[in-house]
Amino acid sequence: MWLLLPHYHFSPQSLKKVKKLVKILYNKYLEVGESQPLLLYIKIIVFKQKRAATLAASIATTLFVIPVLASDTSLTEALQSVTTFTPEVELVESPEVETTIVTKWVGKGFTETETFVLDFLQERGITDRAALATIMGNIRQESLFQTNICEGGAKTGYHGCHRGGFGLIQWTTVNRYNGLGEFARKYGGDPNSLHTQLRYMVNETQWVKNEHIWKTPNQSIGTYMNAAYRWLGWGIHGARTTYANQYYTALTQIEVEVPAVT
C-alpha cells in the first residue's frame, strides 16, 4: 500500500517506536475490519504512549481509515517514506515590553573609544556634564585614549612597557602598574584592552575615594579637576583644563528609550 504522506522529523529510536505502533494498529485494523473500533483503539494507545503514539495514530488513520491513493507497495516500504515531522506551532504573542525615557550625554565628533568611555562613566552614575568632561579631558591628556601606549608615545603593550606610565591613565608606580596585570589575570582580561583597563580604573582606591565627587552634580570643572588630581597625581597639568572645556562644549544631552526597570 502506498500513499502520499507529509514528512516527519523524529530521532531513529522514536521512529522505530512509531513504525512498531503503526504495525500494531494495522494488525488491529485487519482484526476489526471497521473504522470505529480502530479509532477507539487509537485513542487508547495515544493516551498510554503520548508523542510517538500520536504520530503513529495519525499515520495509521491516514493509511487505513481515510480513503487514499494506493498501490501495491508494502506497509514497511510505506513507513520508510515517513522521515520528518513538522508539528503545529502555537503562536504565542510576545508580551509588550515596558519602556521609559532617560536622558544621556553624547559627544559630537567622538571616536568609538571616547564614546565607549563616556557611556561607561554614565552607567556608573556620573551624569554631570562638567564632571564627565573633566574625566574625559584627563584621560586625553594622559594617553589620547590609547590603551597600549607607554609613556613617551611608544605603543609597546603592557608587557613591553618597562619605564614610565602605561595605558589609558598612564599607571606609573610599580604597585599600580602591577595591579593592572594582576587584575587582568584574576578576571581573565587583557591588560591592553579598554574594557579591562576601565574596570581596573574604577576599582582602584584612588578612584573610589573621589568617585562621589564626580557623582555630585552642579560643580565647576575646577572642583572636579581637584578630584582628578587626587585620582591621578599628575606631575604636569598640561592641557587638561583645555581638553575638559572642549569636551564640555562637544557634549549634547539627548533622550533615549530604554526598557523600564521593574
Split at pLDDT 50, 70, 90, the class of 96 is confident
Answer whether CATH 1.10.530 is correct for domain 99-259.
Answer: yes
Q: What is the mean pLDDT of residues 13-20?
A: 64
pLDDT tens, 49-58?
555 555 565 6
pLDDT of residue 240: 97
pLDDT tens, 235-250?
899 999 999 999 999 9
Split at pLDDT 50, 70, 90, the class of 179 is very high
Split at pLDDT 50, 70, 90, the class of 48 is very low
pLDDT of residue 154: 93
pLDDT of residue 260: 81
pLDDT tens, 127-155?
999 999 999 999 999 999 999 999 999 99
Measure Cα distances from 106 to 116, 122, 247, 250, 251 in Å.
10, 10, 10, 8, 6
